Structure formats: structure tokens, C-alpha cells
Amino acid sequence: MNEELTKDITQEVMVKAILNIKKFKGQSKLSTWLISIASNLYKDSIRKNKYTSSLSVEELSIKDYQNIEESVINKDTIRRMESILKDLPYEKRMVFILKNYYDYSYEEISTILKSPIGTVRSRLHYCIKKLRSLI
């Protein structure tokens, strides 16, 4: 993601959170609520500015490998995963990222994306199936 866009969204999330803190019901973690705000702002940004979403290889890089060859192979796999994820629809990609990168539970992802848990599970299953078939 564009660093400038990331900073803008982060700042906007904080402003919205401060202005709307009374709307936070405490039924979920504060971080879940903040990710929900950020997710909505990002979706709005995509609609308005036609930004393309992508994960950078650096964000997913695997560190401290003893073997350079293993590191190269893993970076290649990450690049392929990045390419596959970039081509997935936003809703499916977000489920995969929230579950595997941020380690959110199905319930938390359901709250963030305002989707039923069954939908979250099926989207994650779709992503995993797609990744397995193409890697």
C-alpha cells in the first residue's frame, strides 16, 4: 500500500475514533473497532481514488533464515502469493489478511467486515484453495 495513503488513513482513523468514541459499545476489542473504521476508510479511498491494493513483499518478508537458498525460495513464494492475493476480490483478500496476518478470530473478522461468520469462513476457504492451486 502507498505509504502516504497509509498515513492519511491512519490519521483519519484516529480522528474518527476520537470523535466517535461514545459510539464504541465495548462488545468487541478496541482494536477490532479501529480496524473496522480503517477498513471502511480504505474501501472509501479505493472507490474515490481508484487506488489498487497490494501487500508489499517487505511486509510479509520472512526474517532470520540460516540458508540463503531457503530465503530466496520463500521470497519467491511470497511474491507469488502477493500476486495471487492482489488479484482476489477485496472482500476475500481482507478475510485472508485479517486471519493470517493479524491473527483475528472469525468472530472479530465478522464484526470488522460486517459479514456473517459463515461468509467469513467460506471466503477464507476460497482464498486458501486458490493459493494452494496456484503455488
Residue 23's pLDDT is what? 85
Q: What is the pLDDT of residues 18-72, one digit of tens each?
A: 888 888 888 878 888 888 888 888 888 877 765 444 445 444 444 444 455 555 5
Architecture of domain 55-135: Orthogonal Bundle (1.10)
The candidate with the shortest Cα–Cα distance to 114, out of 100, 98, 126, is: 98
d(CA 119, CA 130) in angstroms, rounded, equals 16
pTM value?
0.52
What are the residue boundaries of the structural domains of the chain, listed by start? Answer: 1-53, 55-135
C-alpha cell read off for 102 = 493479524
DSSP string spanning 49-106?
A: H-PPP---TTTTPPP--S-HHHHHHHHHHHHHHHHHHHHS-HHHHHHHHHHHTS---H
